[in-house]
């Protein structure tokens, strides 16, 4: 267990960005509005009794036929169109430097129901140790034809345990589910900070919080969802989705890092004194 590593774990859509990732370039390429696309997608999911994320992935393939070239490469290109909340592009270096000043290594992770290829095409993708998100299987021409991974609100939880245990291969279920002693786990839950905005994040936020980590609900202008999550005990903190250096969100994260760094120092001191006590006998 590496107690000096702190994992910052983010949802993507409407946590780091101001819209769903499909809204920027993909949906306009179909000649549709986001409102029409998501209404039709949700209606289909309801009528066919489909998981919402699987419905979205199927709907993207079907709607793109004859209207928009949909390949692994074009999905990555869509990442260039994404807009971020204030301060996001500078956030990662600033947090990393602060952690370094406290003797803590910061690692950033994405756990998103959105599409991995689009996230990989964004300018901030380079900041993440791992991007866990929904993914297609692609044919020899790079055309998607089947879901490889679909992350809904409950399946997100397994990726917290992948980060906890250091098992990042999504096809490796055996080692993920095998018993592992706490001292052998790469990042303890208490060293996790989960930042999300809504429904698909609630179970992961609650699991993080219940296991000693910290969950932060972010909001753009409307605080209602964050207030509900706070009232229900699902998050530790709420803050405006402002990632600039003097924001409330930055202050909260820095204070959590301060606490974890102090706890790490105390743990090292306790272990050192324990080792010295054994030398006298």
DSSP state of 12: -
Of the candidates 171, 192, 189, the residue with the CA atom closest to the CA atom of residue 180: 189
The yes-or-no verdict on residue 1 having pLDDT over 60 is no
Same domain, 113 and 153: yes
Same domain, 92 and 73: no
Same domain, 157 and 118: yes
Q: What does the block give as tokens for 114? A: 């959105």
Same domain, 96 and 161: yes
Same domain, 103 and 191: yes
Instruction: Compute the distance between CA of residue 251 and CA of residue 240 in angstroms, rounded to an integer.
Output: 12
Strands 214-219, 105-115: parallel, antiparallel or unpaired by DSSP?
A: unpaired
24 assigned to some structural domain: no
Distance of CA 94 to the CA centre of its chain: 18
Instruction: Compute the distance between CA of residue 176 and CA of residue 268 in angstroms, rounded to an integer.
Output: 29
* Whole-number average pLDDT of the chain: 94
- Residue pair 39/139 in contact (Cβ under 8 Å)? The answer is no
Same domain, 94 and 220: yes
Same domain, 207 and 102: yes
Interior/surface letters 166-187, b for 16+ CB within 10 angstroms, e for the rest = ebeebeeeeebeeebeeeebbb
176 assigned to some structural domain: yes
Mean pLDDT of 180-184: 87
Mean pLDDT of 86-101: 98
23 assigned to some structural domain: no
236 assigned to some structural domain: yes
- The edge-to-edge listing of strands for the beta sheet with 105-115 is 144-149, 130-138, 105-115, 5-10, 192-196, 214-219, 237-240
214 assigned to some structural domain: yes
pTM for this prediction: 0.93
Same domain, 146 and 93: yes
Q: Residue 100's domain spans which residues?
A: 5-18+84-279
Query: Residue 253, SS3?
Result: helix
pLDDT in tens, 15-71: 999 999 999 999 999 999 999 999 999 999 999 999 999 999 999 999 998 887 899
- CA angle 159–163–168, rounded 5-degree value: 75
Same domain, 38 and 147: no
Kindly indicate the confidence band of residue 118, based on its pLDDT and cuts at 50, 70 and 90. Answer: very high
Tell me what pLDDT residue 2 has: 60
165 assigned to some structural domain: yes
Domain finish residue from 62, 79, 96 = 79
- Residue pair 152/200 in contact (Cβ under 8 Å)? The answer is yes
Same domain, 59 and 122: no
pLDDT in tens, 260-275: 999 887 877 887 788 7
- CA angle 185–201–11, rounded 5-degree value: 80
Mean pLDDT of 153-158: 94
- CA angle 83–218–94, rounded 5-degree value: 65
Same domain, 122 and 248: yes
Domain count, the chain: 2
Tell me what pLDDT residue 264 has: 82
141 assigned to some structural domain: yes
Tell me what pLDDT residue 93 has: 98
Query: Which regions of 24-162 does DSSP assign to beta strands (E)?
Result: 105-115, 130-138, 144-149
Decide which of 280 and 132 is more confident. 132
Tell me what pLDDT residue 68 has: 75
Same domain, 99 and 70: no
Domain CATH code at residue 99: 3.40.50.1000
Decide which of 265 and 132 is more confident. 132
């Amino acid at each position: 267990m590496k107690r000096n590593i702190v994992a910052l774990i983010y949802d993507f859509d409407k946590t780091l960005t101001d819209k769903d990732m499909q809204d920027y370039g993909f949906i306009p390429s179909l000649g549709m509005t986001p409102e029409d696309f998501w209404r039709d997608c949700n209606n289909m999911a309801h009528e066919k009794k489909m998981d919402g994320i699987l419905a979205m992935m199927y709907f993207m393939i079907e709607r793109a036929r004859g209207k928009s070239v949909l390949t692994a490469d074009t999905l990555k290109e869509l990442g260039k169109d994404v807009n971020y909340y204030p301060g996001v592009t500078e956030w990662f270096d600033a947090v990393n430097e602060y952690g370094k000043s406290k003797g803590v290594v910061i690692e950033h992770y994405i756990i998103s129901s959105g599409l991995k290829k689009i996230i990989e095409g964004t300018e901030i993708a380079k900041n993440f140790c791992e991007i866990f998100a929904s993914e297609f299987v692609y044919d020899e021409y790079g055309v998607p034809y089947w879901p490889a991974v679909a992350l809904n609100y409950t399946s997100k939880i397994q990726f917290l345990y992948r980060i906890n245990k250091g098992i990042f291969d999504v096809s490796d279920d055996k080692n993920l589910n095998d018993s592992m002693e706490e001292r052998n786990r790469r990042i303890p839950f208490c060293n996790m900070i989960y930042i999300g905005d809504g429904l698909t994040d609630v179970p992961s936020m609650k699991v993080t919080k219940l296991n000693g980590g910290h969950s932060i609900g972010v909001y753009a202008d409307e605080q209602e969802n964050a207030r509900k999550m706070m009232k229900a005990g699902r998050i530790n903190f709420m803050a405006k989705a402002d990632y600039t250096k003097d924001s409330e969100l930055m202050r909260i994260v820095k204070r959590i890092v301060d606490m974890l760094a102090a706890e790490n120092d105390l743990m090292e001191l306790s272990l050192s004194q324990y080792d010295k006590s054994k030398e006298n006998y």
